[in-house]
Structure 1
């Protein structure tokens, strides 16, 4: 859609921080930097990929076709060779990814009975119901009992069970987002840092294991780390999943979110207090509570198996071509969805993740123009990250290059457009040798590592490095630093809040001519140094001894001898 340009995010923030200029001063790359990244090139890629012409880059749309063609062309121009699937004895630019696609034929009809009276619920406003991905051709629930199950966690290794043997088969279970530790900051789940038990993906999976007819997550902005607009825009459009042998084992018939106000009302109409019930859920002795509510959801769905694409280029190594270092970024966004207040329906995804794609293309160029690395460098743009890390999950289960000989994976998902920072970070707090290497290379560049400032958001589980980690491959997602040269931590935090509330998974995530690329350039330079180190060494990074990913890595140890 053609729109009157908004102020760029950098400009908006410059107005909110007294004394800050619209852009940050450029930071010169150290003299030893092997490649000078070009801000104009980065900007052009983001502008093109984030334009309305690409229609929000949703899988299985004309936007995907244009995106795959653009990335393949840019990889070739950067100097890469095709690195995807082999067809007729030749590598292609893509890896086909079969996905189950599901979308409602018409808006579902949803209601809840409270105090014996029916209440109509509006899709996208009171509730966000996802099109089914359990293999059903729709959702048909009538008068189904509703049970509140706290945080919906079953973690025997932590001595925690929110279900306590209560039979929830055939019922809709309502649960809180995040972990039981979130409110108090301490407990069985490591304090503020979200574990996988806090992610909505886990909660749906556990609901399916319990035989529930549905799982509804109660939205609250702080523990979710994003507002209702993000929930609505991410869950009321077309859904995808990888093709599974038994999808019902992973997905209950109904998956969705509800507004906090609706949860409060359901609890109150059951003669209970939401705050008290929420406090009780933080304790190990919590037991499920059946509410005096009955849910109705009816909606036919169109489902089919489609094929999306991961885009893959390779620079073969000169000495050890069978060993690979992977750079990755997801190419997809939300496509065309519900209109915002301005009538805009295109979710452009310029920052998320046009920035990561721009970096990926230019990082490929940086290696192709330099001396040939000893190990092979793989550059991968994966599909369907926004639908649950599906493209990377498919790759991890069907690797084009053996996991055992993959040195590491360096992921970029949302990069800085507000200037350079003195520090840098990664998503989550995982312990692995790859982080030690990153810190060492950053020190040479005069930069300081800062641990994830908001581990409660569960960032580690929200990007494609996570699926590689589960396969044992050392993997990190670099995130921009907090201590900006212009405005410090205060300006960085203000930007993050503005981005999350007004732009994240919303149509206004559009390219701006006001952006400052010095931060992207500094981060790209750091990631180049790390990749070069890995490519020209005999190092095989691993996870810490106490990491949940160590065992998977160690199972492939023989491949590296």
Structure 2
């Protein structure tokens, strides 16, 4: 759990926390109807789920840049453009993959999207074809020398499929070498894929369970069986195996049972350092074609130039993309509209841009950044962080918005994951003026810190957070807020049902926008430099650029 606010004060920069240190411009009025219109437009069927590298991308980025221009922003891309080109590898499975397993001598066909969710190969190859490759259960698939932890114990995975649990070894018990319920990066499925490649495995299957994954099978299916994107790599096979995907728990349980091991007993064993890989009496075969090509997607960038420190930057960001068109749901709907995720964040970004453009000029330059391919691994922000339009060393901070509005009006706010940094203190103090308080991430085990667009910037030292409106509802408290959030995750998250409705409760929107504006404006109208706590893993990266900040 994140320490109390009072424990931050020893490392905070003088002047940054003082509510009287600077006069924050009075917040503008925010037009709820205009925000709703932006969400409704971007989440309409006409925008086809805003998939990168589709015809919907052109429509989406033209809409965003048009709204930025109308607001009075200046283009912040190269050569006076609104757009930053983001080259990506795009991969699709062509047709229906042929997949099967032989478990304990019995062969069974695997239906894509039902028993397994196999991603298009991101290695650049044109097909995936193998027969009867052995499967090996490797627990949580973690190799962490600094924790004295190695799930592999020297097992040779070449020519074998690695079967791995999602999340950290600490998830079930809530304590141990991996920070308890707070997920480390070792718990993310992205890490499992990366480690499988490092181990030389022929493929990897992550076992799905809703609680440790933090979402149901529908989310897994919809997120993994459509178009895949990755950054353009010199050697993609160094980062990916030929087959990456997920497998249903009951299939994994049958594999283990055929090998004389109970699934729950295997999970319990995997929580210990002395766990050893379990060769399974199961093999897998696959045959499918892959279309792979290099495409260019786009980030959209507009800015208000600072009137005192124009070379210093504050960033507001939101991802414009969603899942596009995919497998039909039970109603036959194939358009993944992404209204809350993240037409709402994009609409908030545009409304903040209008507010800054109409108000007094900030002292620092404020960049409004709508990024691509978040749903494919934070790729738009990853590319920006490697190719920044504004120097990272003089970027004072980044506030990211991904589903930023409360289900209803809340009395609190939160951020994704747990982090100790000055930006959180600024948000906390500004929220306090509005009668709201900070509450740590309600589900630290979900690894949300690694699932939002602030993370690529944080890795490079930039103070960055993803804002959450919280779920302590004024009407019904935290219990009702949790119920509403759980229902959204179960029934709508990464599903065609994430659609805009005029019936949405919009009572939190003005307060959320005001808090976002006041917090960002406070940083923009100053010359102090927020930082991470002294014990943060991101502090060292920030300190390496200290000479750039004067």
- Give the structure-1-normalised TM-score: 0.93
Per-residue deviation, 1:33: 4.5
Q: Equivalents in 1 of 2:106, 2:415: separation in Å?
A: 49
Q: Which runs of 4+ in 1 moved over 3 A?
A: none
- Aligned position for 2:422: 433
- Aligned position for 2:446: 457
- Aligned position for 1:170: 159
For the 8 Å contact 1:324–1:406, the answer to whether it is kept is yes
Per-residue deviation, 1:418: 2.6
1:437-481 C-alpha deviation (Å, 9 max, x unpaired): 211221222210001111011110001000110111100001122
Distance 1:419 1:32, change over 3 A: farther
Residue correspondences, number: 527
For the 8 Å contact 2:406–2:469, the answer to whether it is kept is no
Q: Equivalents in 2 of 1:416, 1:327: separation in Å?
A: 15
Distance 1:32 1:82, change over 3 A: closer
Q: Secondary structure of 1:197's match?
A: helix
Q: Equivalents in 1 of 2:278, 2:125: separation in Å?
A: 28
Residues 1:151 and 2:140 aligned together:
yes
Q: Equivalents in 2 of 1:32, 1:72: separation in Å?
A: 26
Supply the RMSD in Å over aligned alpha carbons: 1.1
Residues 1:466 and 2:459 aligned together:
no
Residues 1:477 and 2:466 aligned together:
yes
- Aligned position for 1:38: 31
Q: Secondary structure of 1:71's match?
A: helix
- Aligned position for 2:7: none
For the 8 Å contact 1:39–1:518, the answer to whether it is kept is no
Q: Secondary structure of 1:255's match?
A: strand
Q: Following superposition of structure 1 onto structure 2, how do residues 41-120 of structure 1 map, counting pairs within 5 Å?
A: 41-86=34-79, 91-120=80-109
Q: Following superposition of structure 1 onto structure 2, how do residues 537-548 of structure 1 map, counting pairs within 5 Å?
A: 537-548=526-537
Q: Equivalents in 2 of 1:401, 1:164: separation in Å?
A: 45
Q: Secondary structure of 1:152's match?
A: coil
1:45-64 C-alpha deviation (Å, 9 max, x unpaired): 00000000000000011110
Q: Equivalents in 1 of 2:28, 2:276: separation in Å?
A: 58
Select 1:511's aligned residue among 483, 500, 503: 500
1:102-134 C-alpha deviation (Å, 9 max, x unpaired): 001111110011122321100000000000112
Residues 1:311 and 2:272 aligned together:
no
Distance 1:32 1:319, change over 3 A: closer
Bigger mean CA deviation after superposition, 32-41 or 221-230: 32-41
Q: Equivalents in 2 of 1:553, 1:287: separation in Å?
A: 39
- Aligned position for 2:514: 525
- Aligned position for 1:129: 118
For the 8 Å contact 2:78–2:389, the answer to whether it is kept is yes
Select 2:201's aligned residue among 192, 209, 212: 212
- Aligned position for 1:398: 387
Q: Secondary structure of 2:408's match?
A: coil
Per-residue deviation, 1:138: 2.1
Q: Equivalents in 2 of 1:372, 1:260: separation in Å?
A: 55
For the 8 Å contact 2:407–2:471, the answer to whether it is kept is no
Q: Secondary structure of 1:96's match?
A: strand
Q: Equivalents in 2 of 1:81, 1:223: separation in Å?
A: 44
- Aligned position for 1:350: 339
For the 8 Å contact 1:437–1:530, the answer to whether it is kept is yes
1:320-357 C-alpha deviation (Å, 9 max, x unpaired): 11110000000000000000011100000001001101
Q: Secondary structure of 1:252's match?
A: coil
Per-residue deviation, 1:140: 1.5
Q: Equivalents in 1 of 2:366, 2:47: separation in Å?
A: 28
Q: Equivalents in 1 of 2:192, 2:531: separation in Å?
A: 29
- Aligned position for 2:277: 288
Q: Equivalents in 2 of 1:261, 1:445: separation in Å?
A: 49
- Aligned position for 2:359: 370
For the 8 Å contact 2:339–2:500, the answer to whether it is kept is yes
Q: Following superposition of structure 1 onto structure 2, how do residues 126-275 of structure 1 map, counting pairs within 5 Å?
A: 126-275=115-264
For the 8 Å contact 1:417–1:515, the answer to whether it is kept is no
For the 8 Å contact 1:131–1:138, the answer to whether it is kept is no
Q: Unpaired segments of 5 or more residues in structure 1? A: 1-30
Q: Equivalents in 2 of 1:390, 1:341: separation in Å?
A: 30
For the 8 Å contact 2:126–2:290, the answer to whether it is kept is yes
Q: Equivalents in 1 of 2:377, 2:505: separation in Å?
A: 30
For the 8 Å contact 1:482–1:493, the answer to whether it is kept is yes
Q: Equivalents in 2 of 1:115, 1:377: separation in Å?
A: 61
Per-residue deviation, 1:193: 1.0
Select 1:326's aligned residue among 309, 315, 319: 315
Per-residue deviation, 1:520: 2.5
For the 8 Å contact 1:33–1:525, the answer to whether it is kept is no
- Aligned position for 2:404: 415
1:407-456 C-alpha deviation (Å, 9 max, x unpaired): 00000001235321111000011111111121122122221000111101
For the 8 Å contact 1:162–1:288, the answer to whether it is kept is yes
Q: Equivalents in 1 of 2:260, 2:408: separation in Å?
A: 52
For the 8 Å contact 1:471–1:549, the answer to whether it is kept is yes
- Give the structure-2-normalised TM-score: 0.95
Bigger mean CA deviation after superposition, 60-69 or 485-494: 485-494
Q: Equivalents in 1 of 2:511, 2:456: separation in Å?
A: 26
Q: Equivalents in 2 of 1:389, 1:161: separation in Å?
A: 28
